Amino acid sequence: MSRGHLSGMDERTTPPVPHSLSEVHHSTILLFGEVLIDCFPDHEVQGGAPLNVAHHLRGLGVGIGVVPMLVTRIGKDEHGHRLFDAMQSAGLPIDGVQLDSLHPTGEVRIDLEANSQGHRFEIAPDQAWDFIHADMARLVGLSSRPEWLYFGTLAQRSVAYPITRPAAHPALRALMQTIHAKGFLDINLRDPWVRKDVLRWSLGKAEIVKMNEKELLRVAHMMGLGSASQTVLGKRMLHAFGIRQLLVTEGQNGAWLLQNDGTYHHTGPTEPLVDVVDSVGAGDGFAAVFLLGLTQGWPVEQALERSHHFAGEICRLRGAIPDSDDFYQPFITAWQLDGPAT
């Protein structure tokens, strides 16, 4: 979809790319999937894993030329206007944001558990992001020439009416056939939207796969990989699907990475966080920093440690995205992200 068409929403236009970006090498990352409103019991915030990851990539990577570009779809409604404005205000490119006159902007109801360490999701069906248009997605891919394509499993769910059929999944297939980007798959198993065939296809299309430890066990069972330790299951998964790296998050217990050459790294456990608000979006923060490290050539053990640390800091926020870019500054300084790529 052209920028001119998108700017037709109340004559709004895309903010210019900051001048500093013209002086550094660009690394474009396409993020395919759901953009929505997270509805907590007492407040609403923008959300969806691709949007959360895009925000962190923009906040951390603007000084080194990292350009996150969403491929998504929102409704022409109040929530859609709100999300569109927020993306523009944040400096996120809106070239890949499609507008839908027939389906509403996505909503997810979130109930937090008493200890703030967990949450339950109620994801509404037949939302705008279910109907991402394949040809529009392809055009964005052709024009942006991304280095990486971030995608998940939730946006590939089926829609129920008039009959059960794949919705955004064909758009993702078309996009992958058009571009030569490497795939980063973020597993997101949300019942009742888990599809074995989509999961199998997605694993086969990804160079890097991220999941949590519960998802590892479930995916291994669904894919018929047998019973074994987590690391053995991980090795079987790498071999079965041609994956280069498997990332597994374990919450407070750390995270580990397994490469197809047998190399294994583990961050180890961390001290309990003393001011946890909620864990919503922690995994998205982890994915964003690891993707950032891929564009900058960080050693894998360094990328793993930084990703885990950043995810822990996200747990200190209410929701998945900080209210101010000040949140990112300590990381930008510590990781030297305010100048040439390190």
| Rounded (5°) CA angle 139-144-148 | 110
Task: Check: CB of residue 32 under 8 Å from CB of residue 155.
Answer: yes
Name residues whose C-beta falls within 8 Å of residue 117's C-beta, 6 or more positions apart in sequence.
Answer: 251, 276, 279
Task: Check: CB of residue 73 under 8 Å from CB of residue 159.
Answer: no
pLDDT band at 161 (very low <50, low <70, confident <90, very high): low
Task: Check: CB of residue 66 under 8 Å from CB of residue 298.
Answer: no
Say yes or no to pLDDT of 113 above 70.
no
Chain center to CA of 232: 26
**Partners of 266 in the beta sheet?**
256
pLDDT at 1: 38
* Tally of residues, the chain: 342
Q: Is residue 14 helix, strand or coil?
A: coil
Out of 92-96, 212-216, 280-284, 299-303, least confident range: 280-284
pLDDT at 134: 95
Say yes or no to pLDDT of 151 above 90.
yes
- For residues 308 and 310, what is the distance between their CA atoms, to the nearest angstrom? 5
pLDDT at 3: 36
pLDDT at 11: 36
Chain center to CA of 143: 21
pLDDT band at 273 (very low <50, low <70, confident <90, very high): low
Residue listed under structure tokens 């790529």: 341
pLDDT tens digits for range 298-327: 999 999 999 999 999 998 887 788 888 999
pLDDT at 251: 86
- For residues 132 and 269, what is the distance between their CA atoms, to the nearest angstrom? 40
pLDDT at 110: 78
Phi-psi map region of 269: left, alpha, beta (phi>0 left; psi -120 to 50 alpha):
beta
Residue closest to 95 by CA, chosen among 141, 135, 133: 141
Buried b (16+ CB within 10 A) or exposed e, 166-205: bbbbebbbbbbebbebebbbbbbbeeebbbeebbebbbeb
Alpha helices in the chain (DSSP H): 3-6, 49-61, 78-89, 134-144, 169-178, 196-204, 213-222, 230-241, 282-296, 300-314, 329-334
pLDDT at 166: 65
Alpha helices in 90-229 (DSSP H): 134-144, 169-178, 196-204, 213-222
Say yes or no to pLDDT of 34 above 80.
yes
- CATH code of 3-322, in short, is 3.40.1190.20
Query: Averaged over 240-245, what is the pLDDT?
Result: 98
Residue closest to 266 by CA, chosen among 252, 281, 256, 277: 256
Name residues whose C-beta falls within 8 Å of residue 48's C-beta, 6 or more positions apart in sequence.
Answer: 33, 34, 35, 36, 38, 72, 106, 108, 129
The answer to whether the predicted template modeling score (pTM) of the entire model surpasses 0.85 is yes
Longest dimension (CA), the chain: 57
